[in-house]
Chain A
């Protein structure tokens, strides 16, 4: 089965040939299968945003190749059509809203896709429902009168309405409160359950530890890790070097293990972890 994303030897240089030249991505290699969820991590400036912009055709490699949905991004024509299949939600997407009504804003993408009115209507409605907005109540409201969290939902709905094969989200939970974060996770989970490919950039590992199939860690333009979450959790060195915060319960378990105590580190929730610790404390009493 051909991977839906295939990146080989990707190098990308900003402003080549000028005094501002900078190699933003160095020798990136990875591939992603259809339906998988990829989490991309790394500190500010590591190249995360640059990398994902290669996946929807905004950028193309200086060297190497990027193939997405069977399109080779070095080919201009193929690259220019890629947005129809790959939707990219930028950071703070509420900052790009310009529609006079919520409906208009969400319909922008589908309109550009050249769909007929009935289809557009249907997609906008579905997208609104997916982000927890009631079409009857919210469709006619000017987006600028909404709160930050609601605006973000509208913005994301605008990209969901394009029904992309791959959805890429750049730090979608930045600045959101727990309820908002929960909603985003629900959207991602929904896609994952329906075998739709998703890529998410985050600086917080805990956000999608439970859901991600693969994790990519970028550091100063290089891919320093690519693999399954379970693999990552075993690599303590990488976790500490790149400041990837494990949930507190795992931190406690690992520290106790380091001290020599026998604990099952496969605990997937706080309750399970607490049980393990209680068992440990109980066994000594």
Chain B
């Protein structure tokens, strides 16, 4: 029997020094199946970053286990394969790009996978095309904007053809336009079958997810479909989060006794819905 998916079994993680930047996790149980789009949210310091780093073995759980397609992340022998399956894009676009040329950045992971030169060249073309940056192939990353850098980082990960794509607050340092482009890109990738795990403290980023997991002080506080989670305004406010404006609007309308379709994800859809009822 083939075990597919990422599993966290009773995972706890404590840090020895009390530095606030590294948050602990306690007794987290989570399963992510292939093809899902999972959003993870929580305030800074809630444990989101710790959780994300457990998924590709960058961090080991203090207690409990993390399995990727049946492989144990605490087994060093499994890590190379796990990191081929799980690709991670991080928060700071600048601090992920380590090569002097965009083309080489994409090649970096591929060289590490020991692929033949021809395959490397092909994948570079393919990945840059996916993110629309073919023209930047021979440019230095220093010349790129924040949004473009993040796209290069994404392309560099996608070129390795991961099965699970994990993103740790990828939009937090981007401007509005770049943020939108990145989220649209993720939507497209998901449509093509990619498993997406997106962590963000901005609730707007997660409305496209199938499922949202809310973390507070190291444990899972709430989970469910976006509408289910975001309608719980009071619970979210208690832990320092706010639903997206649209969902607060839907909440208010429901309070006024109009049953609103929970499938509404954009303002355009809401407008359409209202017009259809008039």
Using CB atoms and an 8 Å cutoff, list the residues of chain A in contact with chain B: 43-45, 145-150, 174-180, 203-204, 206, 243, 245, 247-249, 251-252, 255-256, 259, 261, 270-271, 273-275, 277-278, 280-281, 284
Contacts and interface: CB of A to CB of B under 8 A. Distances in A.
A150 B258 contact: no
Contacts of A281: 258, 274, 277-278
B176 A278 contact: no
B274 A280 contact: yes
Interface stretch (B8-16, B51-59, B236-244): B236-244
Given A249-B249, A256-B271, A256-B275, A147 B258 contact: no
A179 B252 CA distance: 22
B45 interface: yes
B153 to A, nearest CB: 16
A87 to B, nearest CB: 24
B252 A270 contact: yes
Q: Which of A249, A274, A284 has the most CB of B within 10 A?
A: A274
10 contacts: A44-B146, A145-B20, A147-B45, A149-B44, A175-B91, A206-B245, A245-B176, A256-B271, A270-B245, A275-B252
Contacts of B145: 44-45
B67 to A, nearest CB: 30
Contact of A280 (B176, B252, B278): B278
A150 B267 CA distance: 35
Given A147-B45, A178-B240, A273 B249 contact: yes
B48 to A, nearest CB: 10
Contact of A147 (B20, B275, B277): B20
Interface in B238-278: 240-242, 244-246, 248-249, 252-253, 255-256, 258, 267-268, 270-271, 274-275, 277-278
A243 B45 CA distance: 31
Interface of B: 19-21, 43-45, 91, 145-146, 172-173, 175-177, 201, 240-242, 244-246, 248-249, 252-253, 255-256, 258, 267-268, 270-271, 274-275, 277-278
CB-CB nearest 4 A-B residue pairs: A274-B252, A248-B245, A177-B201, A278-B256
A277 B277 CA distance: 11
Given A248-B245, A252-B267, A177 B43 contact: yes
B265 to A, nearest CB: 11
A278 B249 contact: no
B14 to A, nearest CB: 17
Contacts of A248: 244-246, 249, 267
Considering residues B177, B249, B277, which has the most beta carbons from chain A within 10 angstroms of its beta carbon? B249
Nearest to A177: B201
Contacts of A177: 43-44, 201, 240
Contacts of B241: 178
Contacts of A275: 252, 256
Given A148-B21, A204-B176, A270 B249 contact: yes
Contacts of B249: 248-249, 252, 270, 273-274, 277
Given A146-B20, A252-B270, A274-B253, A174 B43 contact: no
Nearest to A273: B249
Nearest to B278: A284
Contacts of A261: 278
A203 B175 CA distance: 7
A86 B123 CA distance: 52
B44 A147 contact: yes
Contacts of A206: 245
Nearest to A258: B271
Contacts of A255: 267-268, 271
Contacts of B255: 274
A179 B44 CA distance: 9
A244 to B, nearest CB: 9
Contacts of B43: 177-179
Nearest to B204: A248
Contacts of B242: 178
B172 A147 contact: no
B278 to A, nearest CB: 5
A178 B267 contact: no
A179 B240 contact: yes
**Residue among B145, B172, B248, B268 with the highest chain A CB neighbour number at 10 A:** B248
B244 A178 contact: no
Contacts of A243: 176-177
B55 to A, nearest CB: 21
Contact of B274 (A150, A174, A203, A256): A256
Contact of B271 (A44, A203, A204, A259): A259
Nearest to B272: A255
Contacts of A147: 19-21, 44-45
A60 B2 CA distance: 67
Contacts of B271: 252, 255-256, 259
Contacts of A175: 91, 172-173
